Amino acid sequence: MNAHAERVIRTIRAECTDRLLIYNKQHLRHVLAEYAEHYNGSRPHRALQLRAPADDRNVIPFPEQRIQRIQSHNVLEGLIHEYRQAT
């Protein structure tokens, strides 16, 4: 279990906190909350076959149809970019 916690902390540091200037505790809490939302809701995980933990396991992650438009969404003020199929 300790190895899993250390891996998550290393990922958070590499992808998030090492790339931002944190002003105070409130800012740190905001950054970590936004990153946790991205990590669990959008970020692909290799152990989950490139799905996010919050994804529905019954849905195929890569649809067969061609995607016409892609929409970009910035996370943490542009530090991370998420891409989704535009509706």
Q: Does 83 fall in a domain?
A: no
Q: Does 73 fall in a domain?
A: no
Q: What is the domain count for the chain?
A: 1
Each residue's pLDDT, cut to its tens digit, for the chain (87 residues) gives 789 899 889 999 998 999 999 999 999 999 999 999 888 888 877 777 777 777 777 776 666 667 678 888 888 888 888 887 777
Q: Measure the CA–CA gap between 61 and 52, rounded to whole angstroms.
A: 10
Q: Does 12 fall in a domain?
A: yes
Q: Does 21 fall in a domain?
A: yes
pLDDT at 68 (0 to 100): 77
Q: Does 51 fall in a domain?
A: yes
- What residues contact 40, with CB distance under 8 A and at least 6 apart? 52, 53, 54
As given in the structure block, the two tokens for residue 21 are 């200037």
pTM of the model: 0.72
Alpha-helical segments (H) within the chain? 2-15, 25-41
User: Between the CA atoms of 21, 23, 25 and 29, what dihedral angle is there, to the nearest 10 degrees?
Assistant: -50
Q: Does 74 fall in a domain?
A: no
Residue 29's domain comprises 2-61
